Structure 1
Amino acid sequence: MNHEAFPVSGDDLARLHTALAARAADEGVLDVAYRTLDTPVGPLLLAATARGLVRVAFEREGFDTVLEALAAKVSPRVLEAPARLDPAAAELEEYFAGRRHGFDVPLDHALSSGFRRIVQRCLPQIGYGRTRSYKEVAELVGNPKAVRAVGTACATNPLPVVVPCHRVLRTDGGLGGYIGGLEAKTTLLALENAA
C-alpha cells in the first residue's frame, strides 16, 4: 500500500469506521446497519433496522444492488455497522452448526406487504427438518387456491434462511425455485435432514 497516498493504516481505518458507526447509532442517524457473514451457502448480507432484521441476501443477488434497494425502500442512511447484527450473526452461525432450529432475533417485515407478508409470517410454523408444499402453505394461510401467490411470496422473501421459505417444495416433491439458488436450497434441506 502506498502510505503517501493513503497515510492511514488498515487498523486505524477499521477503528475510524467502528467509531463512525457507533456515533451514527448514538445520534440516531443510522437507520439500516449491515454486515456480511460467511456461511456454508456462501456469504450472506445481513441488514437490520432498529425494529429488527430486515434483510438477508445471498451473494448472487448482488450485495450492492440489495443495499441500493434498502436505501430506496427503507432509508438512505445505510452503514456497515456489524455490532448491530452480532445477535443475528450468532444465531445464523448456531443454525449452520446444527445447534439452532429456530430464530429468536426480532424481524422487521417492512419489505413485504399484503398476502406476501401473511405467507412469510406463516413460514416459521414449518418446523426444522420438515417441509410443506406450496399448496399446503396456501391452505395454511386460508387461501387454498393461491398456490402461485405462495410461490411468489417465497420467491420474494426478504429474510431467507431465517424465514424458512427453503422448506416449501412443489407438490410432487420437486424443489421449486429459491432466491439463493437450488444448490443453497438443497444444502439447507440437507443440513436440516428435511423430510
Structure 2
Amino acid sequence: MRRWLKRLRGTLVMALLWAVGWGLAGLLIGVSSLLLPWLPWDAFFAVFDAPLPALAVPGFFGGALFSVVLGIGEHRRRFDELSVRRFAGWGALGGLLLSMIPTSAVLLGSASRWPIAAIIVVPVTLLSAASAAGSLWLARRATGHRELEGGRAVDDLWLTDALAQDLMTRAE
C-alpha cells in the first residue's frame, strides 16, 4: 500500500511539474508571437484557440502519462541509471500516447476537426521528450543537492577519481 502511495505522489508531482512547464511554454509562444510578428503564427492560432496558459492542461496529463510509461518501462532502475536520451525516449512515447487521445476521438467520430489531431502529434511528442529530459535534469539536480547536504562521502556522489582528487586538493 505504501509503495502505491509513493508512486501516486510521484505521478502527481511529475504531472504538476509538466503542467507548469507547458503553461510557461504557452506564455512563451504568446510573447514570441508579439515580439516576432513576421513568423507564421496564424497557422498555430487557427488550430489552438484556447488561452495560451491552457497548455498546462495537456501538460498535466502528459506528465501523468509519462510517469506511468516510465514506471512500466524502467521500474527497476533509478534516475541516476538512466541516460537523458532514454528518458527523452520515454517522454516521446508518453507524448505520442497523449496525442492519441484527440486522434482516437476523431477516429471514433466524436470530433470533426481531424486536422487538429494530425497537426498536434509532432509538437506534443517533441514537447514531451523535452519535458522528460528537463524532469531528469531537475531530479538529478535535486538528488545531488540532498546528497551534498547530507554529508555523504565523495565516492557516494558518483564523481570520477580525477574530479574527487581536484576537490580534495581545493579543500586543503
Q: What TM-score range do you get, normalising by the shorter chain? A: under 0.3
The answer to which structure has the higher helix fraction is: 2
What's the TM-score once normalised by structure 2's chain length?
A: 0.27
